[in-house]
Each structure stands twice: as structure tokens, then as C-alpha cells.
Amino acid sequence: MGEKKLSFPAYFPKDCPPANAKPEELCVYRYCEGQSVTENDFLSYYQIDPIKFKDNILAYGLSVLLDKQACVKGMKLPAIKKKFKSFATGITYIESGKIKRTPTNKIQSHCTWWLYEGAKPETYFVICS
């Protein structure tokens, strides 16, 4: 019985994810639209709007945070409160994709997580209480 080859979706451009992204198991947090975790909570910006984001390599990945307090703080911001109702936590398992720390001026714990084809994080992320 052969092992399944891990690969990224065919729509990923060349050199996506970047070479310095790596498979790493980290506990991360992600904002969710509702009170339960769904597949839609794990769509990348590229999947939502391919025309707008086709040239942004980070948009092919998902934004996740390493710091729960950053999520709690973010949930108080009007723009985030308007779009998201909760946040979930889970592990970036090695077989789920590659991750790179991509801090912003406002969120030092920000990372971008590029999922392998067929990864289903909605099945193992849980809403934080």
C-alpha cells in the first residue's frame, strides 16, 4: 500500500507556497463566520475572488494566528466583528500543508498556511469558548 503524495492544488502558481514555508505542527487560531466551524471558514482569499487575488501569493493561503489573545483582541474591532462571529483553534498538522510566519504591523503572531489538496481543517478545528 503506497503513501499518498502530498501536493498543493493545481491552481496554485509556480513557487507557491514560497520555499521558506514549511510543514510544521502549530496550535493556531482562525476567525469563523458563524458559531460553528464550516468548510467555508477555510476558503482562501484567492478561492473567494480569484481575479482580484491572482497575483498575491499570500492570498492562496489562510491567515491564522499563533496567539489566542490576538484573536480575542481582534474580535473587538468593528471590521472583524462585522464579518466574524467566533474563532476556532486547531493544529497545522504536517500532512495538512505548509506554514510561514507572516507578521503584520498590527498582528505579530500572524501566519499564512497553505493547505495541501484535500486537506479538511474544518473537521478538526473547534470553536473557542
Convert 57-77 to b/e letters by CB count within 10 Å (16 or more is b). Answer: bbbbbbbbbbeeebbeebeee
Query: At residue 2, does pLDDT exceed 50?
Result: no
Helix (H) or strand (E) holding 51: helix 50-53
Beta bridge partners of 28: 90
Name the residue ranges covered by the structural domains of the chain.
27-127
Sheet holding 126-127, edge to edge: 97-101, 110-115, 62-65, 27-32, 86-91, 126-127
pTM of the model: 0.93
**Which amino acid is it at 10?**
A
Q: What is the pLDDT of residues 25-40, one digit of tens each?
A: 999 999 999 999 999 9
The residue-averaged pLDDT of 100-107 equals 92
Q: What is the pLDDT of residues 39-78, one digit of tens each?
A: 999 999 999 999 999 999 999 999 999 999 999 999 998 9
Residue 4 has what pLDDT?
65
Residue 5 has what pLDDT?
80
- CA neighbours within 13 Å on the CB side: how many for 126? 3
Q: What is the pLDDT of residues 87-100, one digit of tens each?
A: 999 999 999 999 99
Residue 111 has what pLDDT?
97
Instruction: Report how far residue 119's alpha carbon sits from residue 35's, in angstroms, rounded to the nearest whole number.
Output: 22
Q: Determine how many CB atoms are found less than 10 A away from the CB of residue 127.
A: 15
